[in-house]
Structure 1
Amino acid sequence: MAYFYKSRGLSVALVGADVERPAAQEQLRQLAEKIGVRYYTAMNEKSAGKVVQKALSEAKEDIVIVDSAGRSAFDNELAEELKGIVGALHPDET
């Protein structure tokens, strides 16, 4: 998705907000580097919402794509974390 928008002339940033899996953040960082887009995260932050808030305060790109941990409709803790992300983002699309 990031490459799609970049190839159409928009500036893009990826945000690694999976605070449960550091390897997922590293994988996303490598992908961002490979396709030439900005990457934001906060490696020691335990709140995905705070990671997103920090990234949005720094990001100047046209499009910001947030990668969060996978969700289960039955996992209340992850559902609450997602609410924090959405609250920080005020997204145009989800």
Structure 2
Amino acid sequence: MNHCSTARPSKRHVAGLEFRQMVDPVVIAAHVVTRLQTIVSREVPPEETVAVTVGKLYAGTQANIIPHSVELEINIRSFDNAIHRQVVGAI
């Protein structure tokens, strides 16, 4: 099952806003990916077979510009429907 999620911070490119005041959605996405990777290791019993994959992370088009948003595509694979729902709930 694939899930798509988009992060759009409220403080973006606003005239007069200093660089240090901006919210970088790439940093948010990095934290989300790290959190997603802990779901299987910390919340699913070790005897269950589950995979949570961030197969796509898209953010911006230039290396020197903070993007307005980040899009993540997440795939979940499992054999047990109850465990699958648990993982979806954790996401």
Greater share of helix = 1
| Higher alpha-carbon Rg | 2
Provide the TM-score with structure 2 as the length reference: 0.29
- When normalised by structure 1's length, the TM-score is 0.28
Higher strand share: 2
